[in-house]
Amino acid sequence: MPAGPGSAMHDGDPRQAGRLVAAVILFLLLALSPGPASGSGRGVQVRPGGQTLFETSPGAVVTTTFSVANTADEPLEFLSEAVLPEGWKLVTPSFPFSVDRGGAEVRLVGVFVPQSARVGRYEIAYRVASTRRPAVGDAAVVYVTVLSVSHFQVQVIDAPDSVIAGDAYEARFSAVNAGNTENRLAVAVESGRNLPVEFAPREMTLAPGASGEVRVTVGTDEKSREGFKHILDVTLHSIGDEETTARASCAVDVIPRMTGAADRFHRIPARIALRYLGVKEEIGGSGFQGEFSGGGALSDDGDDEIAFVFQGPDTLEENSLFGERPRYFAGYRSRAGDLMLGDGYYALSRLTEQGLEGRGASSRITLGDFDLRGYYMNTLRQDPAETQGALGMEYRFGERYRIGVNLLDRRTDDAGARLAGIQGLLAPMDAVNLEFEAAYGREENARDPAFWLSLYGSLDRAHYRIEYIRAAPDFPGNYRDREYASGNFFFRLTDRFSLNAAVRQEKENLRLDVGDETAGLTRFGSLGLGYQWRTGTSLALESLFSTREDRLSVPGYDTREQTLRARLGQRFRKAFFNLSAEWGDSRDRLEARNTRVGVYEASGYVMPTPNQTYGAYVRYSNRDDPENPGGDFLNAGLTGSLRLGTGTDIDARLETYRPLDLGYGERYTADAGIRHAFSSGWTVSARGRHTFHDRRNESAVVVELSIPFGLPTARKKGIGTLKGLVRHQETGAPLANAVLRLNGAAAVTDGGGEFRFPALKPGTVHLDVDAGSIGLDRVPMEKTPMAVTIEGGEEAFVEIGVARSAALYGRITIYEFAETEGPGQGFRIAGEKTAVPETSGGDEVAASRGLANALVVLTRETETLRVLTDGRGRFSLEGLRPGAWTLAVHAENLPPHHYVEKERFEILLTGGEKREVSIRVLPRKRTIRIIQEAAGVIEG
């Protein structure tokens, strides 16, 4: 499928699926029509330079290498791209680089893992493509597991739910030392959208079990016209133990003071960009390019989404140093599937087609656990041009098992191939995941199979990945005439001691065909130990072994290399440094000659403030072979980025690549850019690059103006408007800056107390008033949220009175008869006349105790409040609206022979009043009836 925004959803809706079926069947029939195709072999091969499984803590830099080999029949210039998880940063520059035919270059890649990285496993993909032949490309992946390193805790104590744009708000965070040693902590704060912040303290020292408080004040911009959720992150670092960190965040709604006019259309975010591109070299060029792009939900429900990019023309043709190739792409996605048209990377499976740039169409239909997908495409800027049609079907048995079938047709003007395969996933447990594929392909009169297995998983202290690929000589798929096997293992022996191992073997020309130039066999193995100190220091030692031999009867090469690598790293709160040295011997077995080899690296990354980052690296490789010069290289670079204020970003990069013993091939590249974002959302950016080469010099520049806007996609049907007024109930004066919420939207009253929600769907909505915005001692006169009926094309109006809140306090007291002499107290004889009525009004009673757990209910027309009395019989009801209330007591736990003197009270509360109510539970006179002695019956 082509690489486009978003991915297909898997909760299918058969009714929506029908919309896509016709289009899918049409181009899939075309895709599977007969025709010729060429074999694989894309001209470049990317492989990891060593370890592929890493563990790290947040705030560190992961450094690795990738080998890029040019297998094309001509020298090529490549662009590289590191595909990183969101928020991760590449700290080594990514410039175009050249590799001679049959040559290889080792590329150093350093990635900063942000402090906010969550615990889990991540992929870092390194992708390379030719600047002039984009179809010539390859990629490799390494895997990084981010560890949990928190030994203390930080959590939000208090933060407002919302703030009006232009006002500041305060958030409070609590830090607790959960360890058994004293911790000295440094405080760092990150503010979303770069809103200004002030916080204190900057450092704190906590004894075991102790806690401290961090107060953060955030300013907002009163010119904001759109509401957004502001994210505030507070991170604590242990000074002296850089691995120990803790992080907490809060989200506060920033509400604009103006909600704007009613919009009768549903809109998706879009932009228009105008850019000038220029290149100056032997054959230079310049021109203008435009871009129209956007994407989002087609309706308020958000079930259907579109994305599109229209970028062109190709003004520079052979030159694309900034990657501004023309691209035309449009995609539709829903719960039932997706449909993509235009330019992108099309892929089917690991063995058949792993990814090829082209122009065409692809689709996926999801029906419950069944997926049907396919594409039809023509390659771009590839000679000879290639056409592919593909179809894939997959069924999922829950989340752990799936099985699928793939069909692929490839053709050029003079060759053709068809492939079919089966693939699946077996994951019986979290620690065992087996992906597999078997495919069979036919090209003209030749036919051959291919197989792929990948077994991977993680245990508590271990990670592993084992992969095997075998593609027979005439298999016309993504791999051909190749056998590849690899195993990568990582073990955490203790909390600070780790072991990693990697083995890899790759074999080409499986039939030993002498018509091919070589029959390569490459082996690689490494075994390493690592240790991390609490101070942020890490040390790793690795033994590496590699061989490269030609298996033909008359071999062209046969080398063995054995080296030892030592790596030292140091992490500080705002910096990271890494040193590496690799040295050993390489032996040419055909010429019986030994050569000393060495590779020495140093890199650093500094972030003095959240708005500044600087990096540097240097790599020196040495091969002491006087008979074959060209083995000494120096590769070095500097990077820096700076944010000025809240809208201007500046970055610069510098790199040099120098063969030290050839006298030619030197390359220096300088790159700088600036970008400014205006409050309107418009952005202006400029980037320049100059390359000094011993063969040629080259300059390139790109200037861009980007204009965002909301693209209308449909008229909102029957929308209505809600307008209202908030005023003081006692005085009638309007209340400004009151926040009202409705269905996720918010509005703020102006100086006249008025507010407006401009575009609402017809039906019943519920309007709420933010209690904090009207005053802590004030309440709306009506219960909120209040139901409001919206009619299409009409404007509804509500008036909300705000008054001082009232409070009702009280106690339910149990009374007993006062003690008097005589055993008959509390009783009377039936028939005896007495002046004491049954209500006990004439008796002397005394308060005994409060009645606990009695239910007190306070009601008015539209609301009911309930509260239980405490152990002393007390209750309180605060924040009450002024007006008439009814108080009732529901006491199911009265003492025997007691009753509530008055069970209902009619109460009229005024604004600001605090009323006290006393409720008595009185004893009831028990009656003794004496009947004639003959009857012998006594009632009581």
Mark 59-94 as b/e (b = at least 16 C-beta within 10 Å).
bbbbbbbbbbbbbbeeebebbbebebbeebbbbbbb
825 lies in the same domain as 793: no
820 in any annotated domain: yes
Distance, in Å, from the CA atom of 210 to the CA atom of 643, rounded to the nearest integer, reads: 37
154 in any annotated domain: no
Q: What is the CATH number of the domain that holds 176?
A: 2.60.40.2310
The three state secondary structure string of 481-502 is CEEEEEEEEEEECCCCEEEEEE
- Domain with 241, as residue range(s), is 166-255
689 lies in the same domain as 748: no
Q: What is the pLDDT at residue 842?
A: 59
127 in any annotated domain: yes
793 in any annotated domain: yes
Q: What is the pLDDT at residue 827?
A: 46
545 lies in the same domain as 465: yes
Token pair for residue 932?
């004639």
Considering the entire predicted model, what is its pTM? 0.68
184 lies in the same domain as 215: yes
464 lies in the same domain as 537: yes
Question: Is residue 23 classed as helix, strand or coil in its secondary structure?
Answer: helix
Which residues are CB-contacts of 109 (< 8 A; sequence separation ≥ 6)? 63, 64, 65, 66, 82, 90, 92, 124, 126
410 lies in the same domain as 472: yes
127 lies in the same domain as 31: yes
Mark 404-433 as b/e (b = at least 16 C-beta within 10 Å).
bebbbbbbbeebbbbbbbebbbebeeeeeb
Distance, in Å, from the CA atom of 292 to the CA atom of 208, rounded to the nearest integer, reads: 58
520 in any annotated domain: yes
Distance, in Å, from the CA atom of 607 to the CA atom of 188, rounded to the nearest integer, reads: 12
6 in any annotated domain: no
Owner of token pair 């073990």? 491
Q: How many CB atoms lie within 10 A of CB 445?
A: 6
250 lies in the same domain as 296: no
Distance, in Å, from the CA atom of 174 to the CA atom of 903, rounded to the nearest integer, reads: 47
Q: What is the pLDDT at residue 832?
A: 38
Token pair for residue 552?
């033909």
Beta bridge partners of 456: 433, 465
Q: How many CB atoms lie within 10 A of CB 924?
A: 14
SS3 content of the chain, % helix, strand, coil (to 5): 5, 60, 35
**Spans of the chain, pLDDT less than 50:** 1, 3-41, 821-840, 935, 938-940
Q: What is the pLDDT at residue 541?
A: 96
Residue 734 has what DSSP assignment?
Answer: B
Q: What is the pLDDT at residue 29?
A: 38
Last residue of a domain, one of 187, 221, 255: 255
Q: What is the pLDDT at residue 650?
A: 95
Q: What is the pLDDT at residue 161?
A: 80
Q: How many domains does the chain have?
A: 4
Last residue of a domain, one of 804, 835, 851: 804
Q: What is the CATH number of the domain that holds 771?
A: 2.60.40.1120
User: How far from 696 is each of 315, 323, 664, 693, 699, CA to CA, in Å?
Assistant: 22, 21, 12, 5, 10
155 in any annotated domain: no
766 in any annotated domain: yes
830 lies in the same domain as 863: yes
Distance, in Å, from the CA atom of 330 to the CA atom of 882, rounded to the nearest integer, reads: 59
299 lies in the same domain as 198: no
Q: What is the CATH number of the domain that holds 911?
A: 2.60.40.10
DSSP class per residue in 314-349:
-SSTT--TT----EEEEEEEETTEEEEEEEEEE--B
Q: What is the CATH number of the domain that holds 628?
A: 2.40.170
748 lies in the same domain as 829: no
What amino acid is encoded at 625 in this protein? Answer: D
279 lies in the same domain as 140: yes
Q: How many CB atoms lie within 10 A of CB 552?
A: 16
Last residue of a domain, one of 208, 231, 255: 255
